[in-house]
Amino acid sequence: MRPVYPFSAIVGQDEMKLALLLVAIDPMIGGVMVFGDRGTGKSTAVRALAGLLPPMKVVQGCKYGCDPNAGGALCDECVKRHADGHHPRAVFAPVPVVDLPLGATEDRVVGALDLERALTTGEKAFEPGLLARAHRGFLYVDEVNLLEDHLVDLLLDAAATGENVVEREGVSVRHPSRFVLVGSGNPEEGELRPQLLDRFGLAVDVKTPTVIATRIDVIKRRDAFDRDPEAFLAHWHKADAKVRKQIEKGRARLDGLTVSDEVLERAAALCSALGTDGLRGELTLLRTSRALAAFDGADTVTLEHLRRIAAMALRHRLRRNVLDDAGSTTRVERAVAELWGDVGTAA
Amino acid sequence: MSALLPDAAARARELPNTSGALTALLLAVDAGGLGGAVLDHPLHEQARTYALLVQGWLPAGAPMRRVPASVTADRLYGGVDLAATLATGKLVAERGVLAGADRGVLVVPMAERLGVSARTAICEALDHAEIQVARDGIGDRHAAQVCALLLDESVDDEVLHPALRDRLAFSVRLEGPVAEDVEAIAEMELRTAYEPIVQQARERLAQVAVSEEWVTALCQTADAFGVDSVRAVLFALRTARALAALRGNSEVTEADAEKAAALVLAPRATRLPPPPPEEPETNEDEQQPQEQPEEPDAPPPQMEQPPEPDQPEQPPESDDDNAQQQDSGELLREAVQAALPPGMLEQLMQRSTAGTLAGRVGQETPNLLRGRPRGARSGLPRGGARLHLLETLRAAAPWQKVRPAPPSVAGVARPRVAVRREDFRIRRFIEKTGTTVLFVVDASGSSALYRLAEAKGAVELLLAETYARRDRVSLIAFRGQGTEVLLPPTRALARAKKVLAALPGGGGTPLAHAIDAAIEQALGVRRGGSSPLVVMMTDGRANIARDGQPGRKQAEVDALSAGARFAALHIPALFVDTSPRGEVVARRIAEAMKARYVLLPSADAKALNGLVRTAISMAEGGA
């Protein structure tokens, strides 16, 4: 097992790092879509963040990793345990990061009848799928654009409802399945359907750093990590712990933060100026700016917070404009500048 | 082991100087760090020799596994041994190929045909040196550090998937001196002579130091040649280290860095570096040098105190000695340029902004998984095929009386149904194929630019609107003496835009040629499991015959006969006549092709797009 690269040692890629931190604070923001070339450290960042999160409490012996304090959201088996008056122990487990292999079949994703047991013992048992394993963690899908439509729909439905319902082959199972979907894609290798993109909360672009000095730094750190992972991890341990604290504090502050009417109106105006349909864009703007305020330790959500996350919350929701070749990021920034005066564009 | 001939030992003190045997040595020194190699169209015998070399130099007992490109993911990952499970009544796992190749070599011929799930499995092993098997009751992690040797045997428009290429350090073309070198070293004497050298290098590897200068130079060189992937630079760095270790040094030298850059970066170049500036620039605007404490006990750069999270990332210190940097970078650039594979230099010079990923990658998933369900057939539920439980039990039912009861196993309830291999039924699906719209555009004469602009607009609109992701678009232009595929079938708008950005025009009209090219493409699309729809856009004034001679009469005759051939293949087509009042000849050719003739003298992209959409739905409905 190769060790996990520390999150705080990732050079640059600030937008991706921020997006992941914000969804870790408020998973309700929805998934993150990462556009970028090969070898830019997309999956490294996801893994690193999960490695940094505090371990979670799970019901001992639960196949689905249920949260002992979840109240309503329990799998059938845990509900039954409760009904029978059992109080299983809670144990700690690391936050899961599950890779969805491209060739995965529906069975593997949602789970299926355990055929071997059905055939050898005649028992109807359910074999949980990847959605069960990703519960309360991250589901990483490389090259989302190459995934089959029906699978993508499945994932997005589960991500949106927070549970997985299986009705097939004579088994009927439902279990909680709350996860942050992180998709990666290379825009050059097939487009993503607009309705699919729209269901991701945030979208970020990652690029190979153009500044040579940054590139050198990336290589040096990566090389130091490869050669002596333990020393490297020890060295970054403190910085990672700091980020972990920030996430925990942010989570604790989140519920106490309200968004003023002024910020609400600004968000709505921005969406209508950009012509993004539906409420998803606005909702995402609000949740994300609130998560950012919580992460910053601010008392109120300000216009500045909104401005900092506007591009990542909206860039993938713009209608493609054949006449306007400007990238979507540019278009969002332009709209922000026009609406709110030029308060400097986000770096 | 035979006693070494003295001259073999002496020869082995020199490292081989061609990329063939040298890369094999390097892979054996740092298999875990270098991933493996793409073998570029080798003879199978050569590939075998190369693989045996690597395996022979790896630590004793290194396995070698060879799998066909049609390998399924469950063979790679391992899964349930169905026959054994049924026979024993207990779950029997079988170890997959990747776990079986741990610390050894994996060879895949025709790797460009690897299916998507098999490719993912191999990438997983290369990324993590282990694979995760997600099945209840089966051990979920296996070590799988493989040195992958992928044979790239692609023809026409196939390519080895870039995700695989990116994860392998080397690309080796075994021909001429390179092949001879491999042959020579594969001789028993010499191969054995290298064994202790490789072994010592492996032990030394961890102690080899690389100075800042070479890290910097490799990064600059990668940037200069447009190599974006971080993996590539890391591979170059590790290669330099392995080279130093093989030479018995504890420090990477200039020669090591040059060789590493030539081996790893040259095959990945996507552009040529700009000529060196007249005066050395200090890159002031790119990096602000940060004063570096010149204390002897200053921590190494990667160990600098991590920045406070609320502070912006500080730029790393740049080397004070800028001139020195420039020099090292320059040296490596020359080395890379000299090592560019033949033909590549030319290619890079000509290369426009077109995307680098061309052609069709891998095969689509077999129709066992997708599309509309359609009954069941005999077969085993593996390779992604899904069991049809009801049909399986139905097949087993009539035999229950005559079959002996399955063995009962201690602790496991006796199965109630005796199911045998031959009873298994798997689900079948009908796959709905997408449509590939082939625009064949007349780029000759005066209205060429205008026509191309329309076609370009239509292509973009089509792709932008393609909600059903199954549809693809391609673009062929014809003019002067021949035709040119400007855009191979794609779904990617981004890529199409890049390619369409620069389209030239002018010349004569070789209509027969264009129809021939459309036929060829359409048949290719059909082979790929998609339905073609051809959209011809021309004013129909054919004036170049098949033999390339100008002449209206012969050109028309040729175009009509090409059209007849087109019609015989039942390729659905739309013939858009762009002439001002309609051309009789155009209409006749359209009839010969059995294409729908549309007169659209001032078509805008929107109208064209609407037409094509209608044609697609008609073609799909009528197919």
- Percent of chain B at pLDDT above 70? 69
Q: Does A230 touch chain B (CB under 8 A)?
A: no
Contact A284, A313 (CB under 8 A): yes
Q: How confident is the model over B567-588, as a mean pLDDT?
A: 82
8-state DSSP, B277? P
3-state SS record for A189-237: HCCCCHHHHHCCCEEEEECCCCCHHHHHHHHHHHHHHHHCHHHHHHHHH
Contact B306 A235 (CB under 8 A): yes
Strands B472-479 and B482-490: antiparallel
Task: Give B548 or A179, the one with higher predicted confidence.
Answer: A179
Q: How confident is the model over B25-45, as a mean pLDDT?
A: 94
Residue B438, φ and ψ in degrees, nearest 5: -105, 110
Q: How confident is the model over A49-70, as a mean pLDDT?
A: 85
Q: How confident is the model over B216-244, as a mean pLDDT?
A: 93
Q: Does A44 touch chain B (CB under 8 A)?
A: no
How many whole angstroms separate alpha carbon A11 and alpha carbon A40? 11
For residue B382, the model assigns a pLDDT of 61
Which residues contact residue B259 at a Cβ distance below 8 angstroms, ignoring those fewer than 6 apart? B22, B239, B240, B243, B335
Query: What is the distance of C-alpha B478 from the center of its chain?
Result: 29
Q: Does A9 touch chain B (CB under 8 A)?
A: yes
Q: What is the enclosing helix (H) or strand (E) of B535? A: strand B531-538
Q: Does B162 touch chain A (CB under 8 A)?
A: yes
What Å distances lie between residue B322 and B46, B295, B317, B330, CA to CA?
45, 20, 12, 12
**Which of A188-202, B219-233, B285-299, B530-544 has the largest mean confidence?**
B219-233
Contact A132, A180 (CB under 8 A): no
Lowest mean pLDDT of B36-50, B367-381, B589-603, B604-618, name the range. Answer: B367-381
∠ at Cα B247 (B243, B250), nearest 5°?
Answer: 85
**One-letter identity of residue B442:** D
Sheet holding A180-185, edge to edge: A97-99, A138-141, A180-185, A32-36, A202-206
Q: Does B453 touch chain A (CB under 8 A)?
A: no
Q: What is the enclosing helix (H) or strand (E) of B232? A: helix B230-246
Q: Using CB atoms within 10 Å of the CB of residue B495, give its burial: 0 to 12 exposed, 13 to 18 middle, 19+ buried.
A: buried
Contact B228 A40 (CB under 8 A): yes
How many whole angstroms separate alpha carbon A258 and alpha carbon A340? 21
Those of residues 348-367 in B touching chain A at CB distance below 8 A are 355, 357, 365
| Cα of B527 to nearest chain A Cα, Å | 20
> Which residues make beta-bridge pairs with B149?
B37, B107
How many whole angstroms separate alpha carbon B303 and alpha carbon B361? 42
For residue B410, the model assigns a pLDDT of 57
| Cα of A154 to nearest chain B Cα, Å | 14
Q: What is the enclosing helix (H) or strand (E) of A150? A: helix A149-161
How does residue B433 score in pLDDT terms, banded at 50, 70 and 90? Answer: low
Lowest mean pLDDT of A137-151, A258-272, B103-117, B604-618, name the range. Answer: B604-618
Which runs of E-coded beta strand occur in B431-504? 435-442, 472-479, 482-490
For residue A302, the model assigns a pLDDT of 92
8-state DSSP, A317? G
pLDDT digits (tens, 9 = 90+) for A195-243: 678 778 999 988 888 888 899 999 999 999 998 999 999 999 999 999 9
Q: How confident is the model over B370-394, as a mean pLDDT?
A: 62
For residue B110, the model assigns a pLDDT of 93
The two three-digit tokens of residue A329, written as one number: 């990021």
Question: Given the structure tokens 């909702």, which residue do they identify?
Answer: A283
pTM above 0.95, yes or no: no
Q: How confident is the model over B124-137, as a mean pLDDT?
A: 78
For residue B249, the model assigns a pLDDT of 93
Cβ-based contacts of A12 with chain B (< 8 Å)? 313
pLDDT for B468 beyond 70:
no
pLDDT digits (tens, 9 = 90+) for A158-183: 887 888 988 876 778 888 898 989 98
Q: Does B495 touch chain A (CB under 8 A)?
A: yes
Q: How confident is the model over B157-177, as a mean pLDDT?
A: 89
| Cα of A12 to nearest chain B Cα, Å | 7
Query: Mean pLDDT over all residues of chain B?
Result: 76
- Catalytic residue set of A: 280
**Which of A141-150, B2-11, B279-288, B403-412 has the largest mean confidence?**
A141-150
Reference A47, options A121, A108, A9, A97; nearest CA is A97
CB-facing half-sphere around the CA of B470: CA atoms within 13 A: 20
How many whole angstroms separate alpha carbon B381 and alpha carbon B86? 13
For residue B305, the model assigns a pLDDT of 45
Torsional class of B343: left (φ above 0), alpha (ψ -120 to 50), beta (otherwise): left
pLDDT for B533 beyond 60:
yes
For residue A169, the model assigns a pLDDT of 66
Q: Which of B219, B318, B492 sits opposite A188 (nearest CB)?
A: B492
- Percent of chain B at pLDDT above 90? 24
Contact B384, B365 (CB under 8 A): yes
∠ at Cα A215 (A211, A217), nearest 5°?
Answer: 120
For residue B409, the model assigns a pLDDT of 57
Neighbours of B45 (CB within 10 A): 11
Give the DSSP per-residue string, B139-173: --EEE--EEEEEEE---TTB---HHHHHT-SEEE-
Contact B71, B96 (CB under 8 A): no
Those of residues 272-311 in A touching chain B at CB distance below 8 A are none
CB-facing half-sphere around the CA of A280: CA atoms within 13 A: 22
Q: What is the enclosing helix (H) or strand (E) of B106? A: strand B104-108
For residue B475, the model assigns a pLDDT of 83
How many whole angstroms separate alpha carbon B110 and alpha carbon B116? 14
Contact A58, A209 (CB under 8 A): no
Chain B residue with Cα closest to A321: B464
Q: Does B410 touch chain A (CB under 8 A)?
A: no
Largest CA distance in chain A: 70
The two three-digit tokens of residue A338, written as one number: 């026009």
How does residue B197 score in pLDDT terms, banded at 50, 70 and 90? Answer: very high
Contact B206 A191 (CB under 8 A): no
Q: Does B289 touch chain A (CB under 8 A)?
A: no
Q: Does B419 touch chain A (CB under 8 A)?
A: yes
How many whole angstroms separate alpha carbon B494 and alpha carbon A188? 5
For residue B351, the model assigns a pLDDT of 46
Cβ-based contacts of B141 with chain A (< 8 Å)? 1
Q: Does B433 touch chain A (CB under 8 A)?
A: no
| Cα of A94 to nearest chain B Cα, Å | 16
For residue B334, the model assigns a pLDDT of 81
How many whole angstroms separate alpha carbon A45 and alpha carbon B366? 33
How does residue B311 score in pLDDT terms, banded at 50, 70 and 90? Answer: very low
Which runs of E-coded beta strand occur in B53-92? 64-66, 78-80
| Cα of A195 to nearest chain B Cα, Å | 8
Contact A193 B469 (CB under 8 A): yes
Q: Does B303 touch chain A (CB under 8 A)?
A: yes
How does residue A144 score in pLDDT terms, banded at 50, 70 and 90? Answer: confident
Contact B369 A105 (CB under 8 A): yes
What Å distances lie between residue B124 and A95, B76, B483, CA to CA?
20, 11, 41
How many whole angstroms separate alpha carbon B562 and alpha carbon B526? 19
Q: Using CB atoms within 10 Å of the CB of residue B312, give its burial: 0 to 12 exposed, 13 to 18 middle, 19+ buried.
A: exposed
Angle between helices A261-274 and A303-314 (to 10 degrees): 30
For residue B571, the model assigns a pLDDT of 85
How does residue A64 score in pLDDT terms, banded at 50, 70 and 90? Answer: confident
For residue B602, the model assigns a pLDDT of 65
**Which of A36-40, A233-237, B327-331, B383-387 has the largest mean confidence?**
A233-237
Contact B192, B4 (CB under 8 A): yes
Dihedral of CA B465/B469/B471/B474: which sign?
positive
How does residue A280 score in pLDDT terms, banded at 50, 70 and 90? Answer: confident
Task: Give B574 or A21, the one with higher predicted confidence.
Answer: A21
pLDDT for A272 beyond 80:
yes
Q: How confident is the model over B181-193, as a mean pLDDT?
A: 86
How many whole angstroms separate alpha carbon B494 and alpha carbon B130? 35
How does residue B168 score in pLDDT terms, banded at 50, 70 and 90? Answer: very high
Give the DSSP per-residue string, B99-138: HHTTTEEEEETTGGG--HHHHHHHHHHHHHSEEE---TTS
How does residue B585 score in pLDDT terms, banded at 50, 70 and 90? Answer: confident
pLDDT for B115 beyond 70:
yes
Q: Which of A188, A217, A235 sits opposite B495 (nearest CB)?
A: A188
> Could you tell me how many CB contacts below 8 A there are between chain A and chain B?
208
Task: Give B360 or B525, the one with higher predicted confidence.
Answer: B525
For residue B107, the model assigns a pLDDT of 97
How does residue B507 score in pLDDT terms, banded at 50, 70 and 90? Answer: low
Cβ-based contacts of B233 with chain A (< 8 Å)? 215, 219
Contact B119 A215 (CB under 8 A): no
Q: Does B394 touch chain A (CB under 8 A)?
A: no
pLDDT for B285 beyond 60:
no
Lowest mean pLDDT of A23-37, B60-74, B270-284, name the range. Answer: B270-284
- Chain B interface mutation, best of A120, A168, A222, A320, highest count of B Cβ atoms under 10 Å: A120
CA dihedral A55, A59, A60, A65 (to 10 degrees): -70
Neighbours of A242 (CB within 10 A): 15
Sheet holding B573-577, edge to edge: B482-490, B472-479, B435-442, B531-538, B573-577, B596-599
pLDDT digits (tens, 9 = 90+) for B70-110: 888 878 988 777 777 777 767 677 889 999 999 999 999 99
Cβ-based contacts of A149 with chain B (< 8 Å)? 469
Q: How confident is the model over B335-363, as a mean pLDDT?
A: 52
